[in-house]
Amino acid sequence: MTAEKIPIGAFSDVTRLSKKALYCYEKKGLLVPVERDICSGYRYYSPGQIERGIWIGSLCSLGFTLDETARILSEEDRNSPVVQTLLKNRLRETRVEMQRLSMVERVLAADDPFEELFKMELNNWTKKDIPPIRAMTIRGEGPYEALLTELIGRICREMASPENARNSVRAVGPIGSVYVGEDCDETGGLVEVILPVAGKLTIADPDVEVKTLPAVTVISVICKGPYRNLGLAHTRMYAYLEENKFTCTGSPRELYLNDPSETPEEELLTEIQYPVG
């Protein structure tokens, strides 16, 4: 081994990166050996690549993807808007995962983990008339959790655009979702996100519409507990409708009454509405 060329084995030892990881980084163009033996395929690195290898390993250990790592390393200024945005996004994702792991710990430490897992409160059963609602809407199809997160983010960004802010556009009700069509099941389906708004709207996202939802009479209930248990709440709603001789006449709605990024999941409130005749 010369001072200018470090064999892959020694480079792996120095950087604490496995050979498998180094092959992956090479394939992605993140860390390409300075030389590769034509006959043996053996790879050599330069001393100047040690620091880059350590940076890559450290960023990956924080949970950044290889694409995100490449973007960070491509920025000369570590305080650039690109880097700061990636850091903030990763922090938000980490906090979400911490909340999930906290839930897992609480459930597994409970005297009856399965009772804790499916704990849910249903309150304020009522029949009420909902007036017409002017709302921003956006539709998508796929697994519910990831899909709703994406659609809610898009519609909120649209409402908060600089032009809408100048026009004092504001939400006048909780954001919600409507399960559209007959193909929805526990894994996903076609969903429409709705956000009641007031003000002069400017829409840039081609998938966002502004429309008036018609008046409707609903059976409503407030569900307190994790979103993962909403399926049980819908099951209870179907039983309630049958017991009380109501006929469902349209797609159910879920209204999210508090912010999951600021609220413990056991305190989350969701209003479930079923249109009835």
Per-residue pLDDT of the chain (277 residues; tens, 9 = 90+): 456 789 999 999 999 999 999 999 999 999 999 998 887 778 999 999 999 999 999 999 999 999 999 999 999 888 899 999 999 999 988 987 887 788 788 778 888 887 776 777 889 999 999 999 999 999 998 887 788 889 999 999 999 998 999 999 999 999 999 987 665 555 567 899 999 999 999 999 999 999 999 999 999 999 998 888 888 899 999 999 999 999 999 999 999 999 888 888 889 999 999 999 8
Pull the structure tokens for residue 85. 């945005």
Directed axis angle between helix 19-27 and helix 50-61, to 10°? 100
Q: In terms of C-beta density within 10 A (0-12 exposed, 13-18 middle, 19 or more buried), how is residue 214 classed?
A: exposed
Contact status, residue 202 vs residue 163, Cβ threshold 8 Å: yes
Residue extents of the structural domains in the chain: 6-74, 118-275
State the sign of the Cα–Cα–Cα–Cα dihedral 94, 99, 100, 104: positive
Output the pLDDT for position 92: 87
pLDDT of residue 42: 87
Number of C-beta neighbours around residue 140 at 10 A: 16
CA separation, residue 151 to residues 59, 190, 192 (Å): 29, 12, 8
CA distance 90 to 111: 34
CATH fold of 6-74: Multidrug-efflux Transporter Regulator; Chain: A; Domain 2 (1.10.1660)
pTM recorded for the entire structure: 0.63
What is the architecture, at CATH level 2, of domain 118-275? Alpha-Beta Barrel (3.20)
